[in-house]
Chains A and B, each alone.
Chain A
Amino acid sequence: MNARAQTYLWVAQRASAAVLALCVAVHLATMIYAIRGGLSAGEILARTRGNGAWLAFYSVFVLAVSVHAPIGLRPVLGEWLRWRGTSRDLFLLALALALAGLGLRAVLGVFL
């Protein structure tokens, strides 16, 4: 991979980490707050269904994960499994799309 592409990947990794730091904090705080009186599917859906703010928040969360995880996995595959070259990048692209697709589907599932 050339220097420009590698640099963009590095920036994307760091930027998505910054977004995730905020998202994870909000997500954990919400969970701790929400389960005080017990946890039920109905209660979760009552909070998320039709709520644009939660839809936007979890969409950003999912997209940040889809960017962050495959880039982080890239050196792990290279250094631990010696898997380099185009096949590794295609696999990681598929992983990114799968994470984004499945994640957004789950977000829509609690919104609609």
Chain B
Amino acid sequence: MSNLKVKVWRGSAEGAFQAFEVPRRESQTVLDVVTYIQRMLDPTLAYRFACRVGMCGSCAMTVNGRARWTCRTHIDSVLQEKKEITIAPLRNLPVIRDLVADMREFFDKWARAKGQFQGRLSRNDDFERINPGDPERVQVDAGIECIGCAVCYASCDVVAWNPDYLGPAALNRAWTLIKDQRDQKKMARLRAVAGDAGCHACHTHMSCTERCPKHISPTAGIAGLKRESILAFTGKSS
């Protein structure tokens, strides 16, 4: 098969794209291409990956201008959009080096959105029984599979315009906890996510929902947070 022309970001905030030619292979993913470059062409290339099968969320990068998991993105599908492939680190995050983005702010915002579960039972109590068909639990289940890859965060224009904005992933996490019947921190969490940097800042562009590789809709969760905040702050919450 022929060679593939690839441009890869080198440097940190300042830097430039470097061109490589990589042998084209069957069922080749973008992560395969990056790995080939590092192992065969330039061992100084920095990138991050772990599981290679779409479970860990560590290999997300900007491929042809769009944030995606590189391990689950086939070169075939990217080539249908454009003949040349450009690979850059995730947007909206500081770049440590080459394709490695600094995820600290992303996860700090989960903490700022009070994304920690707070139950009421101790280890001496029996398990709490939750009906999987309960409407609230169904809403939790719709958003619970997030693996923290930051594709939504990198795709969000509001994060780019307002760096304090908590972002789709942190707000989705808050939403799944607020709807969790076992959780005890609802009001504190609503206060954390309904301020200037929270759910009301969302413009409902829905880039997060379109790009999420897990097909979660953070937009739906954010809309839910808006509703919950109205009920809570006007004294009509259950």
Residues of A within 8 A of B (CB): 1-4, 6-11, 75, 78-80, 84
A6 and B195 form a contact (CB under 8 A): yes
Identify the closest chain B residue to A74 (Cβ): B196
Task: Name the residue in A4, A78, A80, A84 with the highest tally of chain B Cβ atoms < 10 Å from its Cβ.
Answer: A4
Which of B162, B191, B234 is close to A3, meaning CB atoms less than 8 Å apart? B191
A3 and B161 form a contact (CB under 8 A): no
Which of B162, B193, B200, B234 is close to A79, meaning CB atoms less than 8 Å apart? B162
Count how many chain B residues have C-beta atoms less than 8 Å from C-beta atoms of the other chain: 19
Of the A-B pairs whose beta carbons lie under 8 Å apart in the complex, a sample of 28, sorted by A's number, is A1-B195, A1-B196, A2-B191, A2-B195, A3-B190, A3-B191, A3-B194, A3-B195, A3-B233, A4-B191, A4-B194, A4-B233, A7-B194, A7-B200, A7-B226, A7-B229, A9-B200, A10-B200, A10-B226, A10-B230, A11-B234, A75-B201, A75-B203, A78-B161, A78-B162, A78-B196, A79-B162, A80-B161
Contact A3-B229, Cβ < 8 Å, known A78-B162, A79-B161, A79-B162: yes
Q: Is B167 an interface residue (CB 8 A)?
A: no
Query: In the complex, what residues of A have CB within 8 A of residue B193's CB?
Result: 3
Chain A proximity of B77: nearest CB distance (Å): 33
Total inter-chain residue pairs, C-beta < 8 Å: 46
Q: Which 9 A-B pairs have the closest CB atoms?
A: A3-B194, A79-B161, A10-B200, A7-B229, A3-B191, A4-B233, A7-B233, A3-B195, A1-B196
Query: In the complex, what residues of B have CB within 8 A of residue A7's CB?
Result: 194, 200, 226, 229-230, 233
Query: In the complex, what residues of B have CB within 8 A of residue A9's CB?
Result: 200
Chain B proximity of A16: nearest CB distance (Å): 15
Chain B proximity of A94: nearest CB distance (Å): 20
